[in-house]
Structures are given as C-alpha cells and as structure tokens.
Amino acid sequence: MRWKQREPKIPFEAYDNTYGKLAKINGIEDIDQFLNPLTNVICNSYLLKNIDALATRIILAIRSRETITISGDPD
C-alpha cells in the first residue's frame, strides 16, 4: 500500500501541533471554534426527521439500562 500525504488546505505554522495540522489539512482555521461552536452556529436538531421518536427511544434505553450504540454517516 502506498501512502499519499494530503496537502493542507491551510498552510501549517511552525507552532502547530498534531491537532492543528489535522484541522488545517481539512480546512479548519480555528480548531477551538470548530470543537466548541457558538449556539447560533449549531443547527436545530429537532429539524431532523423522527428526532422525537429517537429521543424517546434513547431515554427508554437509558432507563432500562440497555446498551446503546451510536453510529453515523458524515455525509
């Protein structure tokens, strides 16, 4: 297998740590703002289809001490 190193979308600085470099490779300028976004930037999760049913099911699973697995597709 041959590894290909991706070119960063934002140039690295001399003081960038590993997290900063990974963020810049993906085009994230401010990693703190990305990891801790302001509430006015975050979308309303209740716009998602069937979110009420999902929330009810998760609460039921927590109360019943069931194992919960969460998976997702970033697309």
Task: Give just the sign of the alpha carbon dihedral 49, 52, 72, 21.
Answer: positive
Choose between 60 and 75: higher pLDDT.
Answer: 60
3-state secondary structure of 51: helix
**Residue-range domain boundaries for the chain:** 18-63
Buried b (16+ CB within 10 A) or exposed e, 14-40: eebeeeeeebbeeebeeeeeeeeeeee
- Kindly report the pTM of this predicted structure: 0.46
Tell me the per-residue pLDDT of 19-56, one tens digit each, with 9 for 90 and over. Answer: 888 888 888 888 888 888 888 878 888 888 999 999 99
Q: Are 33 and 17 in contact (CB under 8 A)?
A: no
